[in-house]
Amino acid sequence: MKYEERSYRNRMKAEDLEYFQVLEFETDLFLGVNRLAMNPTLPQVVLKNVQQLRQSIVGYNKTHPDFIRALAPLAMDNSAAPIVRDMLAAGIITGVGPMAAVAGAISKYIGEILATTSKEIIVENGGDLLIKTQKNRRVALYTGNPEFSDIGLIIKPRKNALGVCTSSGIMGHSLSFGKADTVTVLSEDIPLADAAATALCNRIKTTGDVAKGLNWIKTIPGILGAVIIIEDKLGAWGKIELS
């Protein structure tokens, strides 16, 4: 796969954090930590763990060939590696294939590693975010829609890491069956947030689907909030503070 430069990363840097990139095939992480937590070995530690996580996924697919290509939920396998179980569970809860949760699942485990040395953590993985913060931070939502060209979310201090995961029916390379400009979902269960964003976006084909989509996302335990933007309409539910 050809590498695509992610120029938006230059605009997302917070001045109080130190950033670095980890790239392993399709996995492209942009990570922020406290400056005192940054050291020369940290990128290599993260890279090694990314390689191990990817190997768990690829290895499972060798014995379960439907895993990577499935667009519908697969049965839970309690003997699988933790990251695979997380992806299977997220798919079952939201009604999508397990790979819909892959970015969030990788971010979850990398976030746990960074949390051993840093109180402030940002893991950006293909537009999906894991955030652990002790201060208010603004997350910009890139919609590609001139009606909502300068909109963002305020993420307040919290004890646990938060997943802020986004899916789009018109931007990016990820498969989507919807037409929304952006759908963003919040959850402390990072793989669930990722899968739920995909599942919700799949449901949004016209502006008339916004209310129905929000009513659906409300029914999923563990989801804290969601934002849907399509054409000239914005719908939000839950613990959402727009700015």
| Regions in the chain scoring below 50 on pLDDT | 1-4
Domains, the chain: 7-238 (3.10.520.10)
Longest dimension (CA), the chain: 51
Q: Which of 197, 203, 68 is nearest to 127 (CA)?
A: 197
| pLDDT tens readout for residues 90-118 | 999 999 999 999 999 999 999 999 999 99
3-class secondary structure, 152: strand
Residue 32's pLDDT is 97
**Cβ pair 155, 133 in contact under 8 A:** yes
Is 215 exposed, middle or buried (CB count within 10 Å of its CB: 0-12, 13-18, 19+)?
Answer: exposed
- Show the tokens assigned to 134: 């002790």
C-alpha pair distances (Å), 15 with each of 30, 40, 201: 15, 19, 32
Question: What is the predicted pLDDT for the residue at 126?
Answer: 86
Q: Name beta bridge partners: 129.
A: 124, 164
Report yes or no on whether pTM surpasses 0.85. yes
